[in-house]
Chains A and B, each alone.
Chain A
Amino acid sequence: MRPKKRMKEIILLKDGELALKGLNRSTFEDILIKNLRGRLSSLGEFSFFKSQSTIVAEPLTEDIDLDEAVRRIGKVFGIVGISRAAVCEKDIAAVTDMAWRYLAEELQNAKSFKVTAKRADKAFPLTSPEICDEVGGAILSHFPRLKVDVHDPAVTVSVEVRDKGVYIHGAQKPGAGGMPTGTGGRACLLISGGIDSPVAGYMLAKRGVKLTAVHFASPPYTSQLAEMKVHSLLGKVSEYAGRVNLFTVHFTAIQEAIRDYCPEEMFTVTMRRLMMRIASRIAEWQGCSALITGESLGQVASQTMQALRCTDAAATLPVFRPCIGMDKNEIVVISRLIDAFDISIQPYEDCCTVFTPRHPRTRPTLAYAEEIEALLPDEDAMIDEAVKTAKLLVIEAYGDNAE
């Protein structure tokens, strides 16, 4: 428990790879702050300011739920460390008193500690070592069992003297890492409702990519529950990736045509090729530079290298497959990390499992795939219709955040 008396608290965010980006850095930080603002806006008003490699998030009203704010910030890409800090006036007596009170809970349960001090405001009368002495002494007098250990302390008490005040904080929690979403362009995720595609979306978002999503629904062969499952999955991805525009494509007529005109062994590859065509169209229209799928090499018949070549050839954009070299177990680890796994394993049919051939062709040649696809009558008209009638739904993790 933090002390009952309301002391002013802020959140300090360390940005990671951003430091490497030279002159772009300021732009990147601006995008990161915009993302943070979007993610936190439904909690209340914050002000953000940059200071060296730290972004300071300061709540502007007292009733803001900072626990929830820290949880949300933990899923914002571009941040490597998060600390919650108390803000103290620039007076050494006040600083020493607040340090032990603010971190009492952590110190109570620890065996050893050290104090680090940074004095950015050189007008402060004490030097950094002097601050450490004062604060460390006060802590020792209140927690006599604690030992000072400067090499491997259980708790590090940080005191930062800055222009606007003194910040006191304990351990830094790891952030989500990665690059701020939006700094890496936009790509279109093909999402099925399984385990892999949300993971693929998460992985690219982590590299700064903003997501648009396309889902293929085939009612009545697939149920409304399967679509709702995709909405929940994207909700989870959106906690990391920010707002996602989801296009749901009505795919029934195309699947029925494939069923009626193509040999069974080529159902899946032909279906995947049409999905690529439709997704490419929507992606280009939405300003995306690539497609993203959750495919993993050899996982199923349509994910052999030969089959992937056939599907790739139907796409007009590069296809990113971040899970391509991963085992299912490795994908599941990430799926659990983003809390999507339990949703993914709900048992609703998706359009990949409708009309599943008993013996799919595992090594189709491109020429054969093209020959089979040519059997479909009015293919272009069907694709036009599918693109035109796709329904847009905006998925935003915390409801009213605007990015």
Chain B
Amino acid sequence: MEIYLDNSATTPLCKEARDAMLSAAEVSYGNPSAVHGKGIEAKTLLETARRQVASVVGASPREIRFSHSGTLANNTAIFGAAAANRRSGNRIVTTAVEHPSVARCMDALEQQGFEVIRLKPSDDGHFSVEDLFSAVNKNTILISAMLVNNETGAVNPVRQIADAVRQAGAPALIHVDAIQGFGKLPLKTDALKADLMTFSGHKVHAPKGVGALYIRKGVKIKNYIYGGGQEDNLFSGTEPVPAIAGFGAAAAALGNIDRSLERAERLRETMIENLSDVPGFRLNSPADALPYVINLSVTGIPSQVMINALSQKGIYVSAGSACKKGRRSEVLTAMGVPPAVIDSAIRVSLSRFTTEEDVLGFCAGVQEAAGKLRRKR
């Protein structure tokens, strides 16, 4: 038995992606920059994938650029926007709980002399709109926030960012790291009013090694990788055509996102119901979080012990708190989760392929572990 519930870390390849990859690697193996038939074949695959990814977020294909990872797309968006906009101001607004591929960029920009404001999460698990409005001033050149928090599934009110920018009269570009939301939330770039958005293939059943950056038409950012000028000069390096083709195919195979979301909602309810009588159980994710990401604790059993115990049974989840030694998750702390509960937090993340059987198997695994791992006397 294998129950994989760590889909926010990465997902298994879907069949559509696999087929597209094989054909790209074995048949259309040319270099997309080549002008002969084999090159044109590969180039055609790239453009197909671009259309497929663009259509998931209601963007124009020309607004999608493929990168070699989500991290690279985030780095390019942030450094590229800061460099393009550096004459217009000095302030950058972000949140205190970004993924390292954003947070470390911000640290670097701070060292370069930018003033970086990091919005703290509120007790709902996302940044407060009030804080956002007071942080954005007319010197603000970039705002970068994740759409879905990777620890708890909390959804940030990113739609409000554009209003804050307008109100402050800021020259800011808006970047949204949508890696955890792509394919799971009905995203339309128009509605989010973002200038830049990041996606990653391997979170939606495409292979590792491909990401994408949405750049709204008319927005210019500076490249910081130098080379052959691929992908509008932003991501130089021969395009990983098989991975990109896989990403396109996986995007096209997503199906009805709303319906999958409702299913995930029901699975989450099933999980909570089945765990509610486990002593020490507590749901840490906010009620309005993305249902695919469920942060929970069986208080008293440390995260790593629970992970090991489930792993022995072929059930795979991850730690619920991306904590370094001696530092607990900032999100969970801000939400008022007590330290002992945080130390037991695990993150269960679903995909659209997760079945009710998987969820029930997981619950049984937790119940068994909870019974066995606790002190008897």
Contacts and interface: CB of A to CB of B under 8 A. Distances in A.
A260 B376 contact: yes
B325 A347 contact: yes
Nearest to A223: B308
Interface in A204-225: 219-224
Nearest to A257: B376
Interface string B336-377: 000000000000000000000000000000000100010111
Contact of B312 (A220, A256, A260, A349): A220
B301 to A, nearest CB: 9
Interface string B288-329: 000000000000000011111111100000000000010000
B308 A219 contact: yes
B376 A220 contact: no
Contacts of A259: 375
A222 B375 contact: no
A349 B303 CA distance: 12
B376 A221 contact: no
Contacts of B311: 220, 224
A347 B307 CA distance: 16
A261 B377 CA distance: 7
Tell me what chain A mostly uses at the interface: helix, strand, loop, or mixed: loop
B305 A220 contact: yes
A139 to B, nearest CB: 50
Given A260-B377, A261-B377, A221 B325 contact: no
A190 B195 CA distance: 59
Contacts of B373: 220-221
A256 B369 CA distance: 13
Interface centre among A220, A221, A261, A349 (most CB of B within 10 A): A220
A222 B312 CA distance: 11
B309 A220 contact: yes
A209 to B, nearest CB: 34
B375 A220 contact: no
Nearest to A222: B308
Interface string A19-35: 00000000000000000
A219 B375 contact: no
Contacts of B304: 223, 349
Contacts of A256: 376
A220 B369 contact: yes
Nearest to A355: B375
B375 A221 contact: no
Contacts of B325: 347
Interface string A219-256: 11111100000000000000000000000000000001
Contacts of A221: 305, 308, 373
Contacts of A349: 304
A47 B294 CA distance: 64
B204 to A, nearest CB: 28
Interface string B116-147: 00000000000000000000000000000000
A302 B29 CA distance: 62
A385 B239 CA distance: 57
A260 B373 CA distance: 11
A228 to B, nearest CB: 13
Contacts of A347: 325
A260 B311 CA distance: 24
A312 to B, nearest CB: 29
A63 B119 CA distance: 63
Interface in B121-180: none
26 contacts: A219-B308, A219-B309, A219-B312, A220-B306, A220-B307, A220-B308, A220-B310, A220-B311, A220-B312, A220-B369, A220-B373, A221-B305, A221-B308, A221-B373, A223-B304, A223-B307, A223-B308, A224-B308, A224-B311, A259-B375, A260-B375, A260-B376, A260-B377, A261-B377, A347-B325, A349-B304
Interface of A: 219-224, 256, 259-261, 347, 349
Interface of B: 304-312, 325, 369, 373, 375-377
